[in-house]
């Protein structure tokens, strides 16, 4: 075994210590109030003693924090379903979240159909709706009108008022700066560098949080799906576009400016196929729905079909019926899917990659070991392949992820010490 070596870098500023220097207030840490609240919510119900053990804090600390959260109307005592009464007196109790302590809305803005849900503080869906989208590219004022219609419809279905909503989360395709709420570019908008979150917040009077749609799918997996028990995993979304989300140590990674992990716009062929972003050779120009439809238009008589979904369904049916041209389209797409997975493995080495998308069911991937095939294209072929899971779902999962964005923001607010 070779001896390890380290290098001492002299930054020349005389500063003591080592490691990152965070700006004031920029530390990534949660208050004990938030830790207790999230532990209770994550487990459904939990005894005080179990909270103390899980968070490595004293029983007295848990008792005090629980009293504060109960007084604030955020948690409540319930009969503990996991403990039997062994002595006389008060029955054993557990802590649980008060479901109606706050409510949020999650919205996904899509190419053909928008979706939205309204949930309580434990993520229970109380109302849902979908609306047809307008033209693929529209002025921001038109998109905001579409959003207001979704919110109005949800509130009517739920029988609630806007002032009962604590936060609104929105997912949209494109380059999104989550911190500032700015959409630098989106295929849905005719304008660039749009301060979308602030504009909607001004219209609704409700805090608005916005993110890239691949990130909200990743949040859906982290909060409600296969990522709940995984600290480190990646999500690759394949639908109208190709996106990626990454969770490191149970946190969504966004990059320095909140606009990283644009897997669909990594280049796989210099000067290759034209992507909807205006550049050539992007991965999604060979893998996304619109790329497959473009191929089908030249290879098959599918130009008469109106919607993208119907066209994809007809293309899938042709492939399953044995049409060689349709099968070749999906086989080529599968090669690029494997290439994208291999690049994720090589760059991030996650334990799990979840491939999500409405048309995953069309790709005829049942006979392909995606993890093994992707692993062949990496330098790590001598170790176990990364697990790859396929998750096909309907459009509401995007809104679920957007609701997680809003739930996270509302949780931060209501569990602050000052509250």
Over residues 254-267, the pLDDT tens digits come to 887 767 788 999 99
> Tokens 């009464």, residue?
85
DSSP conformation class of 76: E
**Residue 64 scores a pLDDT above 90:** yes
d(CA 253, CA 259): 10
Q: Structure tokens of 409?
A: 């923001």
**Residue 285 scores a pLDDT above 60:** yes
Mean pLDDT computed over 72-78: 95
Mean pLDDT computed over 369-396: 81
* Predicted pLDDT at 178: 92
* Runs of H (alpha helix) within 268-395: 284-287, 289-299, 308-320, 324-348, 370-375
Query: What is the tally of helices (H) and strands (E) in the chain?
Result: 12, 15
| Nearest residue to 216 via CA among 49, 401, 44, 56 | 401
DSSP conformation class of 11: -
pLDDT confidence of 89, banded at 50, 70, 90? low
Three-state secondary-structure class, residue 105: strand
Return phi, psi of residue 2, to 5°.
Answer: -75, 150
Max Cα separation, the chain? 78
d(CA 317, CA 312): 9
pLDDT digits (tens, 9 = 90+) for 193-205: 999 999 999 999 9
Q: How far is CA 50 from CA 80, 84, 186, 320, in A?
A: 12, 15, 46, 52
Share of the chain above pLDDT 90, in %: 49
* Predicted pLDDT at 1: 33
Q: Which of 22-31, 34-43, 150-159 has the lowest mean pLDDT?
A: 22-31
| Nearest residue to 170 via CA among 107, 113, 105, 128 | 107
Instruction: Give the bridge partners for 209, in sequence order.
Output: 169
pLDDT digits (tens, 9 = 90+) for 320-358: 888 888 888 888 999 999 999 999 999 998 989 999 876
Mean pLDDT computed over 376-383: 78
Q: Is the pTM of this model over 0.75?
A: yes
* Predicted pLDDT at 163: 97
Share of the chain above pLDDT 70, in %: 84
Burial (0-12, 13-18, 19+ Cβ within 10 Å), 164 = middle
Instruction: Give CA angle at 210 (158, 237), nearest 5°.
Output: 95
pLDDT digits (tens, 9 = 90+) for 355-373: 987 656 555 676 788 888 8
**Residue 23 scores a pLDDT above 60:** no
Q: Which residue has the higher pLDDT, 18 or 302?
A: 302
d(CA 328, CA 325): 5
Average pLDDT of the chain to the nearest whole number: 84
Domains of the chain, each with CATH number or no CATH: 32-97 (1.10.10.10), 101-218+397-414 (3.30.420.40), 229-391 (3.30.420.40)
* Predicted pLDDT at 313: 80
**Residue 404 scores a pLDDT above 60:** yes
pLDDT confidence of 91, banded at 50, 70, 90? low
Burial (0-12, 13-18, 19+ Cβ within 10 Å), 319 = buried
Q: Which of 36-45, 50-59, 229-238, 352-361 has the lowest mean pLDDT?
A: 352-361
């Amino acid at each position: 075994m070779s001896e390890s070596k380290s290098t001492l870098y002299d930054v020349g500023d005389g500063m003591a210590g080592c490691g990152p220097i965070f700006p004031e207030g920029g530390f990534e840490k949660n208050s004990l109030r938030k830790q207790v609240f999230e532990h209770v919510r994550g487990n459904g119900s939990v005894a005080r003693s179990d909270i103390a053990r899980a968070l490595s804090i004293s029983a007295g600390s848990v008792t005090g924090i629980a009293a504060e959260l109960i007084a604030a109307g955020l948690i409540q005592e319930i009969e503990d379903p996991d403990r039997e009464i062994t002595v006389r007196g008060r029955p054993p109790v557990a802590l649980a979240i008060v479901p109606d302590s706050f409510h949020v809305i999650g919205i996904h803005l899509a190419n053909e159909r928008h979706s939205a849900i309204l949930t309580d503080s434990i993520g229970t869906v109380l109302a849902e709706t979908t609306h047809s989208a307008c033209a693929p590219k529209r002025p921001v004022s038109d998109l905001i009108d579409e959003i207001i219609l979704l919110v109005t419809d949800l509130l009517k279905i739920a029988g609630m008022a806007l002032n009962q909503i604590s936060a609104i989360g929105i997912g949209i395709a494109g380059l999104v700066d989550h911190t500032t709420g700015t959409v630098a570019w989106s295929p849905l908008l005719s304008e660039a560098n749009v301060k979308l979150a602030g504009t909607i917040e001004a219209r609704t009077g409700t805090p608005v949080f916005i993110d890239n749609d691949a990130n909200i799918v990743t949040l859906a997996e982290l909060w409600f799906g296969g990522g709940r028990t995984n600290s480190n995993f990646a999500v690759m979304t394949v639908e109208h576009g190709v996106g990626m989300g990454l969770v490191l140590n149970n946190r969504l990674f966004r990059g320095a400016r909140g606009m990283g992990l644009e897997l669909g716009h990594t280049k796989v062929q210099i000067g290759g196929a034209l992507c909807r972003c205006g550049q050539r050779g992007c991965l999604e120009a060979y893998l996304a729905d619109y790329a497959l439809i473009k191929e089908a238009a030249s290879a098959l008589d599918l130009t008469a079909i109106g919607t993208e979904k119907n066209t994809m369904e007809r293309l899938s049916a042709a492939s399953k019926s044995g049409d060689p041209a349709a099968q070749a389209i999906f086989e080529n797409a599968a090669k690029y899917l494997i290439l994208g997975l291999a690049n994720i493995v090589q760059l991030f080495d996650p334990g799990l990659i979840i491939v999500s998308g409405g048309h995953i069911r069309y790709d005829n991937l049942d006979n392909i070991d995606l993890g093994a095939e992707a692993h062949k294209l990496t330098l790590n072929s001598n170790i176990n392949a990364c697990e790859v899971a396929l998750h096909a779902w309907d459009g509401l999962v995007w809104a679920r992820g957007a609701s997680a964005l809003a739930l996270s923001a509302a949780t931060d607010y209501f569990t602050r010490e000052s509250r």
